Amino acid sequence: MKDEKIVAGMLDIGEALLTSGAEVNRIEDTIIRIGEAYGFVRVDVLTITASIVLTVHTAQGESLTQTRRIRKTEINMERVDKLNALSRTICETKPELEYVEQHLELIRNTSHYSEAVMMLAYIMVAASFTVFFGGNAVDALISAISSILVRLLVRIGTRIRMNPIFQNMMCAAAAGLFVLALSKLGLQFNTDSIVIGNVMLLIPGLALTSALRDIIGGDLITGSLVMIEAVLKAVAIALGFAVLLIGG
Amino acid sequence: MEEMLLQIAMAVIGSLGFAIFFNTRGKKLALIAVGSALSTLVYLLVMYRTQDRVVSTLAGALVSAAIAEIMARMMKTPVIILLVPIVIPLVPGGDLYYSMRYFIMGNAEEFSTSFQFMLKEAAAIAGGMILVSFIVQLILKSKRYFKEIRHDEI
C-alpha cells in the first residue's frame, strides 16, 4: 500500500513537471532518481508528450504499474524550478510522503504573474522587437497597442480552450488587421517592424527549444511531436499575417 | 555604437518579457538580462565584422547556450528556463515575416532569399544549442567516467 502511494507521488511530480513545460528527459530522470532513492530495485518510465507510464520493482520482487494521461499544459517555469528543488530534497533526505504531498500542493498553487504584469510583458516584447527590427518610437507605440489586442485574444482563446495553432493564426490576423486599419486611416509608419514585433510575441520559442533538447537527449518521439506542433504554430503566424499583406 | 547599445537594450527588454511569459522570477531574471545582453553583443559584433546573418546567429546561439548551461549549473536550475529567453532575440522573426510578405506579393526571388535565410538562421540556432549541449554532456560523462576509474583503483 505504501509503495503504491510512493508510485502515485512520483507520478504526481512527473505530471506537475510535464504540465509546467519541462523536457521529457528531466521528467524521466527525476522519476528514476526518486524511485531509486525510495529503494525500488528497478524503475521503468516512459513519457510521451501527454502521458506517463511508470513501473517499479520492489526489493520483495513485486512490480507496480501506474499511468497518467496529461491533458492541460500551462507553462510555468517557476513551478519547474521548485519541483526540481523538491526532487533534489527528496533524493537527499528521503522525507515522509506527507512532506512531499504538502510541498507538492504548495508548488501546484504557485501563482502566475498578475494580468497587469503579463500585459506589460506583452508590451515589452512587442515594442522592443519593433525597435530591434528597425522601428522608431511611433512604431513601438503602435506595436504596443497591437500587443494589448493580442493579449486579450490570447486570454479569450485560452478561456474557451481554442486550438493553440488556430489561436496563433487568429492573433496574428487580428494584429495584422489592426495595423492595416491604421494605415488605411492614413497614418504613416513602418508596417514591417510593427508586424515583426508582434510576430515575436507568438513565436513558440519554448516548444522549439525543448523539442530540440528532447531530440538531442534521444527522446525522438516527444521531440518530433512537439517540433511538428511548434512548426505548425509558426506557419499559423505567417498565415494569420497574410490577411494584412493581402489587404494591403 | 549608440545604435548597438539601443539594439542590446531592446533585446534585453524583449528577453525579460519572454521570461515573464513563462513565469520566471527573482534572480533568474537578472541572469537572463545579462545573458541576453552578452549574446546580442556577440551577435552584433560578428555581424559588424562579417555582414553574415547566419554566422552571427550561430555565434549568438553558441554564446547563449554556453551562458545558460553555466548559469543553470551555478543556480541549480533547469537550463531551459534561462536558455529560451536568452536566445529569443536571435529568432528569425523578421525573415519569417518577409518570406510571407514576398510569397504573397508573388516575388519568387525575394521569397526564396528570405525563406532560405529563415531556415539557415533557425538551423544556426539549433546547431549552436546542439553543439554546446554535446560538449557539456561530454564533459559531464567523462568526469563521471574518470571518477569511477579512480573509485575502482581504491
Q: Do B89 and A246 touch (CB under 8 A)?
A: no
**pLDDT value of residue B154:** 56
Residues 6+ apart with CB under 8 A from B10: A128, A129, A131, A132, B89
Confidence of residue B50 (pLDDT cuts 50, 70, 90): very high
What's the distance, Cα to Cα, between the start and end of chain B in Å?
A: 58
Place of cell 504499474: A65
**pLDDT value of residue A248:** 61
Residues of B in Cβ contact (< 8 Å) with A200: 14, 88, 91, 93
- Taking 80 as the threshold, does the pLDDT of residue B152 lie above it? no
Of B21, B94, B129, the CB nearest to A121: B21
**pLDDT value of residue A22:** 87
Confidence of residue B83 (pLDDT cuts 50, 70, 90): very high
Residues 6+ apart with CB under 8 A from B33: B12, B15, B16
In angstroms, the Cα distances linking B128 to A51, A210, B45 are 30, 14, 17
Q: What percent of chain B has pLDDT over 70?
A: 97
Strand ranges in B38-109 using DSSP code E only, listed in sequence order: none
A241 in contact with B, Cβ within 8 Å: yes
Q: Are A206 and B22 in contact (CB under 8 A)?
A: yes
**pLDDT value of residue A130:** 95
B37 backbone dihedrals φ, ψ, rounded to 5°: -65, -45
pLDDT digits (tens), chain A, 248 positions? 588 888 998 999 999 999 988 888 889 999 999 998 888 999 999 998 789 999 999 888 889 999 999 887 788 899 999 999 999 998 888 888 888 888 889 998 888 889 999 999 999 999 999 999 988 999 999 999 999 999 999 999 988 988 889 999 999 999 989 988 888 888 888 888 999 999 899 988 888 888 888 888 888 888 898 899 899 998 899 888 887 777 76
DSSP string spanning chain A?
Answer: -HHHHHHHHHHHHHHHHHHHT--HHHHHHHHHHHHHHTT-SEEEEEEETTEEEEEEE-TTS-EEEEEEE-------HHHHHHHHHHHHHHHHH---HHHHHHHHHHHHTPPPPPHHHHHHHHHHHHHHHHHHTT--HHHHHHHHHHHHHHHHHHHHHHHTT--HHHHHHHHHHHHHHHHHHHHHTT----HHHHHHHHHHHH--HHHHHHHHHHHHTT-HHHHHHHHHHHHHHHHHHHHHHHHHHHH-
Of B14, B25, B91, the CB nearest to A128: B14
Q: Do A196 and B97 touch (CB under 8 A)?
A: yes
A48 in contact with B, Cβ within 8 Å: no
**pLDDT value of residue B140:** 87
Residues of A in Cβ contact (< 8 Å) with B84: 205-206, 209
Residues 6+ apart with CB under 8 A from A138: A189
ipTM: 0.89
Instruction: Give the whole-angstrom CA distance, residue B151 versus residue B154.
Output: 5
Instruction: Quote the minimal CA–CA distance from B45 to chain A in Å.
Output: 15
Q: Do B76 and A84 touch (CB under 8 A)?
A: yes
Range of the domain at B104: 2-153
Confidence of residue B153 (pLDDT cuts 50, 70, 90): low
**pLDDT value of residue B148:** 79
Could you give the number of structural domains in chain B? 1
Q: Do B25 and A78 touch (CB under 8 A)?
A: yes
